[in-house]
Amino acid sequence: MPAIYHPPLRDMRFVMHELLDVTTALNEVPAYADIDADTIDQVLEEAGKFCAEVLLPLNLSGDQEGCHFDAATHVVTVPKGFKQAYQQYCDGGWPSLSADPDFGGQGLPHLIEIAFSEMKYATNQAWTMYPSLAHGAYTALLAHGTDEQKKVYLPKIVSGEWLGTMCLTESHCGTDLGMLRTKAEPVGDGTYRLTGNKIFISAGEHDMAANIVHLVLARLPDAPAGSKGISLFVVPKFMPIGTDANAAVGERNPIFCGAIEHKMGIHGNATCQLNLDGAIGTMVGAPNKGLAAMFVMMNGARLGVGVQGLGLTEIAYQNAAAYAKDRIQGRSLTGPKSPDQQADPIIVHPDVRKMLLTARAYAEGGRAFATWVALQSDLLNHPDEAVRKDADDMMALMTPVVKAFMTDNGFFAASGCLQVFGGHGYIAEWGVEQMVRDARINMIYEGTNTIQALDLLGRKILSDNGAKMKKFGKMVQDFVEAEGTNEAMAEFVNPLADLGDKTTKLTMELGMKAFQSPDEVGAAAVDYLRVVGHLIYAYFWARMAKIALEKESSGDPFYRAKLATARFYFAKLLPETASAIRSARAGSKVLMELEAELF
């Protein structure tokens, strides 16, 4: 039977309005002064309908059909229904949701976009990557584009008429962009001709939209070696005719798809090899400063990929929970629970419940975390400089955690939910095996999760002596002190405080080791990110538990379920930190002493 999906609107409302009170914070930002809870809720309700009714029915068929590549014409065709769904998406005004009104956007808060993205990724990750990459191109051009580039490209992207990509990777270099070889030769009229090859370009060629706006990293002829010699260029599939929002599609630019990758998952998204044969482009930002401009897009993409993990966690949980309540197998260890049937539903078994609650706890904890980070993004426009600085610091600190922790959890949860289905999960009929396959890429692209862990420990924490981490630690400490005498909260506050102390000590210890050998950072980083991720989730789960305790007497089963899930998280998932801390402290010697030739 096909997968089911119920937009988690009740939990989204809880997170936004009861946990974070986002409207109060947003109303302090002039651009969002008029936003209210009803508006947020209404937008998300309609967004949920689009995801459940339009995107979900195309997910399995799109996976099974995949994309089609015609080598003779370099044309890529998306699966049946994808193009029509995208037209509905554009007709509904969805591409413009959080975009700048100066370019045709609706100017709504980013946190609404993030919530919508969760539902889109849950119901059809492969389809959602097409408009999401375009949104990334929009953010990079908004931040670093010339006035002319903005006038031509941004209205087209905001309306959805044109889509976009980010072209970084080459066959010999992935994360190490300093090695890239694509060349950009100045023509003399302000344009450049780009020559080279890119691989693994998601949505690199397709028939979804009239044009594709490629953002391409390349080197100028006199560029210095390494990452300091990289420039960014906008290279459209078709050259625009005109210099404003009414620009039309002109002649074909020689940037062609040479092949599409045959992948483990996300089959409905065209992952392309792109060949640039003197393609015309214009520079974005300053010469040799392309990475700074591209990082606007990349950091946004990393947050988006984390939300991909969240969306797949949620839909995997929903389907596994429904199956577990319906599938009968064996009897409860404490005696029959459904004596009128041949067997009990498998939800009576403790380990089935553990797998379900793991997914639920990671979904609800991740939703709280992702929404809070999205709120920080919106607060970057706050009139108070101190608020902007704190929001910027939290965005910088949390981006690698969102990307890595949430996608790790998404894969673990999807795999556990497949296990709930047993053999039925391993076949395609139920759709859960696709969730596992799709979830696996999220741990790899936009910087592998190990790269995120190195970024967190090496660049975001040790490089500033833990200043950003101390800001978050102060939030944890303030909550612990406020609730320290509340006996009802002891089961949540005590382990939170304990983990906060242990994380501080571990950070200091690793900082000292890093002075002795940089390998110590590499050896500990992945474990360290797991510890920090759990500290963040424990903080939000403790705050959610406080609200659930206060409202449990209302009789609303939502709060009873929230409290039960919080208790599960602290009892069964948070203890992972003990082994992660021990592993982080084990050092690099056991990893580095074996000679390479003996592997």
301-339 pLDDT per residue, tens: 899 999 999 999 999 999 999 999 999 999 999 999 999
269 is a domain residue: yes
> Higher model confidence: residue 247 or residue 108?
108
Give how many domains the chain has, as a whole number.
Answer: 3
Q: With respect to residue 418, please indicate whether it lies within any of the assigned structural domains.
A: no
Query: Which of 87, 110, 142 marks a domain boundary?
Result: 142
Domain of 198 in residue numbering reads as: 163-287
In the listed set 108, 142, 176, which residue is the last one of a domain according to the structure? 142
Predicted local distance difference test score (pLDDT) of residue 387: 98
What are φ and ψ of residue 77, in 5° steps? -110, 130
Residue 305 within a domain: no
* Residue written as token pair 């492969």: 126
The mean pLDDT value for 416-445 works out to 97
> Is the pLDDT assigned to residue 276 strictly greater than 90?
yes
The whole-number pLDDT of residue 33 equals: 98
Q: Are 99 and 193 in the same domain?
A: no
In the listed set 287, 314, 334, which residue is the last one of a domain according to the structure? 287
Q: Do 124 and 41 have their domain in common?
A: yes
What is the average pLDDT across 247-251?
94
Instruction: Tell me the residue type at 92.
Output: G
Mean pLDDT of 162-190: 92
Could you tell me if 76 and 19 lie in one domain? Answer: yes
Please indicate, yes or no, whether residues 105 and 223 belong to a single structural domain of this protein: no
Percent of the chain with pLDDT over 90: 95
3-state class (DSSP) for residue 489 = helix
Give the per-residue pLDDT at 174: 77
Q: Which two tokens stand for residue 348?
A: 């009576």
Q: Do 269 and 182 reside in the same domain of the chain?
A: yes
For residue 186, give the CATH number of its domain: 2.40.110.20
Q: Residue 87: which CATH number?
A: 1.10.540.10
Q: Are residues 239 and 131 in the same domain?
A: no
132 & 170 share domain: no
Q: Does 127 map to a domain?
A: yes
What average pLDDT does this structure show over 16-41? 98
Q: What is the mean pLDDT of residues 420-435?
A: 97
In a domain, 265, yes or no: yes
Average pLDDT over residues 25-48: 98
Mean pLDDT of 438-465: 96
Quick one: 177 and 126 in the same domain?
no
Same domain assignment for residues 555 and 454:
yes
Cα-Cα end-to-end distance for the chain:
45
Active site (catalytic) residues: 446
Would you say residue 365 lies in a domain?
no
pLDDT beyond 80 at 175: no
Return the closest-CA partner of residue 58 out of 35, 87, 29, 37.
Answer: 87
Instruction: Please report which confidence band the pLDDT of residue 28 belongs to, taking 50, 70 and 90 as the band edges.
Output: very high
E strand or H helix at 233, and its extent?
Answer: strand 231-236
Is residue 300 predicted with pLDDT exceeding 90? no
23-30 long-range contacts, CB within 8 A, separation 24+:
25/375, 25/378, 25/379, 26/109, 26/375, 26/378, 28/382, 28/383, 28/384, 28/387, 29/378, 29/379, 29/381, 29/382, 29/383, 30/381, 30/383
> Which has the minimum average pLDDT: 66-70, 177-181, 483-487?
177-181
With bands split at pLDDT 50, 70 and 90, how would you rate the model's confidence at 244? confident
pTM score? 0.97
For the chain, the average pLDDT equals 97
Do 270 and 174 lie in one domain? The reply is yes
Place of tokens 């097409």: 130
Tell me, what's the pLDDT at 176? 79
508 and 563 co-located in one domain: yes
Alpha-helix residue ranges (DSSP H) falling in 173-240: none
CA angle 78/81/85 to nearest 5° reads 105
Judge whether residue 558 has pLDDT over 80. Answer: yes
DSSP 8-class letter at 14: I
State residue 490's pLDDT score: 98
Query: Does residue 148 lie within any of the structural domains?
Result: no
Query: Does 353 reside within a domain?
Result: no
Return the DSSP state at 100. Answer: -
Do residue 128 and residue 213 come from a single domain? Answer: no
